Amino acid sequence: MPAFAYTALSAAGESKKGSIDAADRGEVVRKLARMGLRASSVKPLGASAAPAAKAKPKDGKKAAAAVTKDSAAPFAALWQRLKSGGDTGKVHLKHAQVIAFTIELSNLLSAGFQIDQALGAMEKSSDALTREMSRRLRELVRDGIPLSTALPQVSSSFGPLFCSMIAAGESSGSLDQILDRQVKYLGMMEELRSKFLGALIYPAFLAATGLALGIVMITYLLPKLSVLIKNSSKATPVMLDYLMKLSDFLRNEWWLLLIAIGILVIVAVILAQIPSVQLAWFKMLHHTPVIGDLMQSRHELQFLETLGSLLHSGLAITQALHLLKGTISNPFIRQQFEGIEHMVQEGEHLSTAIQRAKALPPRSIDVIRLGEETGNLAEVATKSAARLDGQFNRLVERATALIQPCILVVMAVVVGSIVYAIIDVVFATLQQIGKR
């Protein structure tokens, strides 16, 4: 009987590896399921050795060609990874395509289709990526691999949170309901992200416009008036003198500025990879007025919505917190939740753990405490997230209304100071000419 090497996850989320004898991959998956394990990778033993032996060259020319090909392999693999977004051979879907895929699969399952039939129907989709995704998933599902395990093997667009909820739906027999809830959750998170980014678009446009206007005035207008300014009997203002030097630098040594910007970008990218620097940066943003309030409110809303969705799927609170921590991109907030997860594992109430870590405002702590006391934390968290959505919208509007005038004031001061200095010199020169 053939032997297979497997990698599987236990109910506690621990990764286990080993080998097992079975007739095919489907039997391996079924045996692992009876052992309480969920297969994530199943490969025949010895499959990788045969191709290597088969590819052995017989003469020097073939050996040289093989060496050349092997030496170029890393570059080819890197190019394939760059084209495919980092995971060779996997299907990559945009966020909107993930939502559309989930909606279609949920509708088919709700209509009474089995998962294999639903994926077969989706192979006729007009979207090429959806067709390829469905075809690969159907092949794995036919081999007995659960959908929650097949998804990350086929595509990297479905994260651990999504796959864990699918696994909960498969175990409880309510996959169609879980998918429907996932559609609502993904839609809400996309809307939340759009609101957060949309609040920054207009202020960024104003800042870019002000910077462009300042550069045009310094590099084009000042040189035109340089002769007039130098011939003026009035002493040149200190700010205008510095602006003239800046104008000469930008027109003659602009390439040095590009090099400096390139070096700064490289240094910033390197520093951004250092965990301690990331933590310090987000901690600073977290305590910045307006920006910190937006980040905290967005995290609060996402936490409650995700917690409610996970608990609705039947996951235990410890599993939900572990998955929640993986969805937090802010390292400062994620650090706080590491302590919360540990306290809950030790038997502490979630509301008490969050209160000790000061990870959420008192209003959310009260909501979680109420949910724990009533035994309906999932429903309470979901309803609270719906209320916070409206509050987040108002906060975004207030923040946008506050940031825009601040940027306009800064632009008015900077540009106005330049214009005033130029007009003052021009006016003094005209007075000198009139006296003559």
Determine the average pLDDT of the residues in 85-100: 75
Cα separations (Å) of 60 from 54, 55, 56?
Answer: 16, 14, 11
Higher per-residue pLDDT: 175 or 227: 175
DSSP of 150-191, one letter per residue? HHHHHBSSS-HHHHHHHHHHHHHT-HHHHHHHHHHHHHHHHH
* Residues in contact with 147: Cβ distance below 8 Å, sequence separation at least 6, in sequence order: 115, 137, 141, 166, 170, 175
For residue 377, how many C-alpha atoms fall within 13 Å in the half-sphere facing its CB?
22
Under DSSP, the state recorded for 221 is I
Higher per-residue pLDDT: 183 or 267: 267
Residue 263 has pLDDT above 90, yes or no: yes
Q: Which pLDDT score, from 0 to 100, does residue 357 have?
A: 84
Task: Name the percent of the chain lying above pLDDT 70.
Answer: 78
Residues 317-354: pLDDT tens digits? 888 887 777 777 778 888 877 788 888 888 888 889 88
User: Domain limits of the chain?
Assistant: 3-84, 95-186, 193-436
Task: Please say whether the beta carbons of 182 and 162 come within 8 A.
Answer: yes
Q: Which pLDDT score, from 0 to 100, does residue 75 have?
A: 43
Under DSSP, the state recorded for 209 is H
Residue 140 has pLDDT above 80, yes or no: yes
**CA nearest to 377, candidates 352, 355, 350:** 350
For residue 405, how many C-alpha atoms fall within 13 Å in the half-sphere facing its CB?
4
Cα separation, 386 vs 430, in Å, equals 66
Cα separation, 52 vs 403, in Å, equals 62
Residues 246-260: pLDDT tens digits? 778 888 887 888 898
Residues 28-49: pLDDT tens digits? 777 776 676 766 667 777 644 3
- 81 pLDDT band, cuts 50/70/90, is very low
Helix axes 254-272, 238-252, angle to 10 degrees: 90
Architecture per CATH, 95-186? Up-down Bundle (1.20)
Higher per-residue pLDDT: 275 or 67: 275
Higher per-residue pLDDT: 53 or 333: 333
Highest mean pLDDT among 113-117, 218-222, 263-267, 398-402: 263-267
CATH class, 193-436 region: mainly alpha
Q: Which pLDDT score, from 0 to 100, does residue 228 have?
A: 64
Q: Which pLDDT score, from 0 to 100, does residue 76 have?
A: 45
Residue 92 has pLDDT above 50, yes or no: yes
Cα separation, 57 vs 217, in Å, equals 68
Cα separation, 436 vs 425, in Å, equals 17
Helices (H) and strands (E) in the chain, counts: 19, 3
Cα separation, 299 vs 189, in Å, equals 11
Residue 223 has pLDDT above 70, yes or no: yes
Residues 144-158: pLDDT tens digits? 788 888 888 888 888
Q: Which pLDDT score, from 0 to 100, does residue 235 have?
A: 61
Name the average pLDDT for the chain.
76
**CA nearest to 65, candidates 80, 55, 50:** 55
